[in-house]
């Protein structure tokens, strides 16, 4: 089991809810949300718009070609009884990943505290330690 959270991702013209994997191994210089092409299409970012930066990320599985749209989206965690603040994030589009991934910096800025990753348990950092939440379905 891993930690997945429900997100509301929006830009100036649309809003989408999705489930994303909290991936502390996804290191970034700033808040980034990596999405597969299908989600990028739902958000109106596929094919990549002019100004998208083609990059190669080094991953445990080898080099990964992605497109980065800086500061493209607002992201917030949406739980049944609470929401995080909204964070502006880079949208990273991957033709390989099968699900949305939250970078380490985005995790921090959203206030996510991973409590028991093997059991999929997490909480908002401002909540008491005994207030744990279960992982969302993929």
Give the start-to-end residue ranges of the domains of the chain: 4-134
Residue 122 pLDDT greater than 90, yes or no: yes
Region for 71 from its dihedrals, namely left if φ exceeds 0, alpha if ψ lies in -120 to 50, beta otherwise: left
CA pair distance 21, 34, nearest whole angstrom: 10
Q: Thinking of the domain 4-134, which architecture would CATH place it in? A: Beta Barrel (2.40)
Most distant CA pair in the chain: distance in Å? 46
Residue 138 pLDDT greater than 70, yes or no: no
Over range 17-26, report the average pLDDT: 94
State the pLDDT at residue 88: 98
pTM recorded for the entire structure: 0.96
Q: Give residue-wise pLDDT tens across range 79-120.
A: 999 999 999 999 999 999 999 999 999 999 999 999 999 999
């Amino acid at each position: 089991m891993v930690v997945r959270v429900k997100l509301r991702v929006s830009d100036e013209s649309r809003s989408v809810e999705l489930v994303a994997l909290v991936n502390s191994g996804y290191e970034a210089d700033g808040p980034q949300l990596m999405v597969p092409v299908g989600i990028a299409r739902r958000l109106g970012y596929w094919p990549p718009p002019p100004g998208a930066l083609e990059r190669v990320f080094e991953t445990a599985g080898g080099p990964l070609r992605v497109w980065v749209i800086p500061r493209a989206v607002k992201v917030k965690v949406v739980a049944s009884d609470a929401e995080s603040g909204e964070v502006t994030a880079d949208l990273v589009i991957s033709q390989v990943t099968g699900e949305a991934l939250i970078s380490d910096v985005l995790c921090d800025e959203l206030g996510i505290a991973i409590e028991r990753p093997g059991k999929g348990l997490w909480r908002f950092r401002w909540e008491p330690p005994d207030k744990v939440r279960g992982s969302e379905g993929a």
